[in-house]
Structure 1
């Protein structure tokens, strides 16, 4: 067995094991082989990346890799042991098993036996979406350490911040720089489909020379980019009063809701307040505050031209607008415009 593979199997995962698990939890961005690889969770984009990464890792070690695909819900008895058995020339084997959450009794029984004594030179990759509890006994056995396996969790990407992190990670992995506002616009354009967002990131990485700017996003995806709450907030915080009011009107006309609009302002101002006046290195401060490095860096850029007084005024204006858009006032639009005026001008309303 190649040394690289044996060492890969013995090392732990970044981030530590999941609660109750005795096996390494491995990032889908850094997949690696093991006798048993459990790819769990509902997010198919991440799972596809993880599965492809394991295959690429093994093929880099030995181009003669044999790949076999099975379905756990349409399984013929004896197949798993047959395809994992050593061949005449001893080529490594990768067996990818889909549909474990719908597995047949025959597969479950044989898989439980297999994890007790995996075949040398074989990697069995099991895909379980978590959609059902079917196969739980097998998952429990793997997570207890039977078979010397690893788990690659692929949790659902639902929140806007998770999609931003995903897209930022795509560009970071490719060593490609993207402007924060361009990143926000890109995520906004593909807010409902992670598969399309992933494809858009890869297209920009392969097609665009140099940094990815707002103009690049407009050129490629201008027809899809809607003005989001964060775009309005970014514009107002930068002091561009007129542009911020126009962006607000555009966002509301596109169906944006005033309540999450105010929430976006509150989140950004709260982050600025936490970072203001702190000279710790970005990574150290981010770890202490439970934030990402890029969030600290962005907050520090946003704080240019701000002081304690103006930041306090902005936070007060946002708190007032929050109550008004939730029913304390008759005109949510006026409440939003007044909030934006205070934030963009950094002065009390009417001053």
Structure 2
């Protein structure tokens, strides 16, 4: 089965380095939209250069708010010959003045200077400069920071955080952590680093729950898990506890929608978890979890009914009803019982 297509950098004449392990060079092009990875790469290059020489001079300039002559001024050797690191932001919005001077600089970089150019790929502005760097002019390297959009990519990112630190985290703990920070990669990265710094030994689901169990997203998934398993009483109790702790109804409904959509996609699929995950752009554990959830008394009819009830609740908690709490309780009831609301048990 074919793997999902991904955007990849064009073939270039310069070295392509991973953002977790970049290396200094006269010209370092950090390309792509993922800011968390770009910041990590830039920080790593700075740390490596500072380890080589604590006298490193660091300068930041903007390519979109550029003063003519600045690049040459900050890269030129000082009286004592300290190494220089120049970080250039906003290359995708660069001015004509910067573009002209950067092209000239790339053709003849200054000795002892490392120039890091950040281009998010948000526009084609600066393409001539990127082409010059990628052609090998100036002895450059490129660090590609591709977008991390899918759950599978986010899980791989988080797993990489622990692997890079030589730490182990259980698959369920990793999945729970990713779900708890599903909306912000920077927060997920910070959570991983906090666990790495605070916890000695392996990290399991209990540790994740102790640190981040109070997040709205995690609480929402607790409610959804009970309901999808058919545990009506515990589902209602979890719902009321979540609401009492200040949970917002909108992400509660979103958690139900996410899990039921995954179940609907996986239902009827044949093949290994990895094959299905590649086709549906999911992680292996998501497919395994959806398959387990589907075994809890779900049919095509009951799954369709549950999805309809969640769609109705989504509309009601966003303003279509004066009683969003009742909308939530009705949704939990329908999902838990696999039957229309008010139907005899």
> TM over 0.5, yes or no?
yes
Question: 1:100-131, CA deviations, whole angstroms, 9 ceiling, x for partnerless residues?
Answer: 44766654333211223446786432124567
Cα offset for 1:45? 2.7
Q: How far apart are the structure 1 equivalents of 2:7 and 2:312? A: 44
Out of 325, 336, 339, the residue aligned to residue 334 of structure 2 is 339
Q: Which residue is equivalent to 1:95?
A: 85
Q: Which runs of 5+ in 1 are unaligned?
A: 1-14
1:176 equivalent in alignment to 2:168? yes
Q: How far apart are the structure 2 equivalents of 1:34 and 1:342? A: 62
Q: How far apart are the structure 2 equivalents of 1:173 and 1:299? A: 29
Contact 2:12 2:134 in 1 (8 A): yes
Structure-2-length-normalised TM-score: 0.68
Q: Which residue is equivalent to 1:254?
A: 247
Q: How far apart are the structure 2 equivalents of 1:161 and 1:251? A: 27
Out of 226, 234, 252, the residue aligned to residue 235 of structure 1 is 226
Q: Which residue is equivalent to 1:71?
A: 60
Q: Which residue is equivalent to 1:312?
A: 300
1:82 equivalent in alignment to 2:71? no
Contact 2:152 2:283 in 1 (8 A): no
Contact 2:29 2:118 in 1 (8 A): yes
Cα offset for 1:235? 3.2
1:115 equivalent in alignment to 2:100? no
Q: How far apart are the structure 2 equivalents of 1:256 and 1:145? A: 54
Q: How far apart are the structure 2 equivalents of 1:256 and 1:335? A: 13
Work out the number of aligned pairs and report it: 319
Q: Which residue is equivalent to 1:264?
A: 258
Cα offset for 1:317? 2.4
Contact 2:152 2:282 in 1 (8 A): no
Which of 285-294 and 324-333 deviates more?
324-333
Partner of 1:176, secondary structure, is coil
- RMSD of the alignment, in Å? 4.4
Question: 1:244-302, CA deviations, whole angstroms, 9 ceiling, x for partnerless residues?
Answer: 22333445552122753442232231344265x53x3x444433443333433444554
Answer 1 or 2: higher relative contact order, Cα 8 Å, separation at least 6.
2
